[in-house]
A and B are shown apart, each in its own frame.
Chain A
Amino acid sequence: MFVLIVGAGRVGAAVAKRALARGHEVSVLDEDPLSHERLVEVEGRTWEDAGGIFTVGTALEVDALIEAGVQRADVFIASTDGDNTNLTVAQIVKRRFGIEKVLCRVMDPARAAWYAEQGLHTISPTQHAIEMFEQALGAEEE
């Protein structure tokens, strides 16, 4: 499987490394060249030696997306630190490049829910945190 990840922050980089270790082809796009540092050391090798691809560019630049391999991506993950960037780029690649599996990180639970209703696969860390706090609180009360 070819996985394209936009945004190599803590989440994006960790998901990228795990996907590569599982034998997938993985390409990462980030506007910050230094974010590459989060990708080093995959089983003792550099990102590139381990077969990973890294491209510098912003999510909305179509040229950068193409350079990063969007045209042959089976899975697309939008995990930049901006909800609006993630929601925009996720919808664009879905519509323009016809990628079926598009995952999108959205911190704002309200919009994560609404866009999920519209057919976008959103993942909201905030919503997960809220639920886990609630659960933990419930366990205290018992």
Chain B
Amino acid sequence: MYVIVVGSGKVGLNLSRELIAKGHEVTLLEADRRRYLVVEEELEHAVQYGDATELWVLERAGIQRADLVVAVTGDDEDNMLVCQVAKEKYLCERVIARVNNPRNLQHFKLLGIQPVVSATDLILRLIEHEVPRYGLVHLLALEEERLEIIELEVQEGAPAAAKRVAEVALPEGSLIISVLRDGRGFVPTPETVVEAGDQVLLVLDSGLEDQITPVFAPD
């Protein structure tokens, strides 16, 4: 696979190293002369100097034959525009953009740039996951398909506690797909009894969350 990585900060450089080690062809683009000279000592011809938001820089890097463009600079506007041009002008099928400021996520979506990776967002999710008091963890959101997978803790006295899966009153469009108990997970049958303290994973149509949380929390 031929990958163009834009931005040779810590993310871009480490990513390029890993991709090269896995046998991929990589061109890393760096707009800052001093940073370029540092990175060039290690990556040699695999790094090029230039501002990837300029078309000729992308063309020199061989954008026409790139299988994937990854924009991971520290500037959201640059990442957005590099991906937009790669997709729409050079018809590169796959792009991945880094979102530095989570508030800019809406702008990436508006310009049709996806997938995006936001470190802040990922860490927030991890915090949610590590701190069950938050109650609900979003594990996965398939936005195009309008499906979500969430994790919930079954609390003492909740309507679902001590009930068989078949008896748990869930709205249509949702399903318990696994139960985590005592550090291990399993796929329940309709006969499995949900206990207080269990973590349950549910798949649901987007937007059903508010109807589901009360089932696993006491009144």
Q: Is the CB of B107 within 8 A of A110?
A: no
Q: What's the Cα separation between A96 and B55 when bound, in Å?
A: 26
A88 & B75 in contact (Cβ 8 Å cutoff): no
> Within the assembled complex, what's the spacing in Å between the Cα atoms of A66 and B81?
23
* Minimum distance in angstroms from A34 CB to a CB of chain B: 23
Which residue from A83, A92, A108, A111 sits with its C-beta under 8 Å from B107? A92
Which residues of chain A have C-beta atoms less than 8 A from B110's C-beta? 91-92, 95-96
Docked-complex contact B54 and A88, CB < 8 angstroms: no
Give min CB distance, A99 to chain B, whole Å: 14
Question: A85 to B79, alpha carbons, bound, how many Å?
Answer: 11
Say what secondary structure dominates the interface of chain B: helix
B192 cross-chain contacts in A, Cβ below 8 A: none
Provide the residues of chain A in CB contact with B76, threshold 8 Å. Answer: 60
A108 touching B77, Cβ below 8 Å: no
What number of B residues sit within 8 Å (CB to CB) of A?
A: 19
> Is there contact, CB below 8 Å, between B53 and A88?
no
**Chain A residues with CB below 8 A from B88, complex form:** 118
User: Is A62 at the interface (CB under 8 A from chain B)?
Assistant: yes
From residue 83 to 130 of chain A, which have CB atoms closer than 8 A to chain B?
83-85, 87-88, 91-92, 95-96, 108, 110-111, 114, 118
Q: Are B55 and A114 in contact (CB under 8 A)?
A: yes
Query: Is A23 at the interface (CB under 8 A from chain B)?
Result: no
In the complex, chain A residues whose CB is within 8 Å of the CB of B85: 111, 114
Q: Let me know if A82 is at the binding interface, CB within 8 A.
A: yes
Dominant secondary structure at the A interface: helix
B81 contacts A60, C-beta separation under 8 Å: no
B201 to chain A, nearest CB (A): 34
- Check if A84 sits within 8 Å of B53, measured CB to CB: yes
Tell me, yes or no, whether B78 is within 8 Å of chain A by CB.
Answer: yes
- In the complex, A61 Cα to B106 Cα: how many Å? 11
B56: interface (CB < 8 Å): yes
A27-63: CB near B (< 8 Å → 1, else 0) gives 0000000000000000000000000000000001110
Q: Which residue of B lies closest to A95 (CB)?
A: B110
B54 and A84 within 8 A (CB): no
The distance from the CB of A58 to the nearest CB of chain B, in whole angstroms, is 10
Q: Are A82 and B77 in contact (CB under 8 A)?
A: yes
Contact A60 B104 (CB under 8 A): yes
- Separation of A58 and B89 alpha carbons in the complex (Å): 28
Within 8 A of A (CB), among B59-89: 75-78, 80-81, 85, 88-89
Q: Give CA–CA (A91, B81) in the complex, Å.
A: 11
The answer to whether B75 touches A84 (Cβ under 8 A) is yes
Contact bitstring B32-64, A, C-beta under 8 A = 1, else 0: 000000000000000000000111100000000
Output the least CB separation between A117 and chain B (Å). 9
B80, B89, B103: the one contacting A88 at CB < 8 Å is: B80
Is A84 in contact with B56, judged by CB distance below 8 angstroms?
A: no
Kindly list chain B residues whose C-beta atoms are within 8 Å of the C-beta of A62: 106
Quote the shortest CB–CB distance from B105 to chain A (angstroms): 11
* Complex alpha-carbon distance, A139 and B75, angstroms: 43
Q: Which residues of A contact B53 (CB under 8 A)?
A: 83-84, 108, 111
Which B residues lie at the A interface, using CB under 8 A? 53-56, 75-78, 80-81, 85, 88-89, 103-104, 106-107, 110-111
Provide a sorted-by-A list of 12 A–B residue pairs whose CB atoms are within 8 angstroms: A60-B76, A60-B103, A82-B77, A84-B75, A87-B77, A88-B81, A88-B111, A91-B111, A95-B110, A108-B54, A114-B85, A118-B88
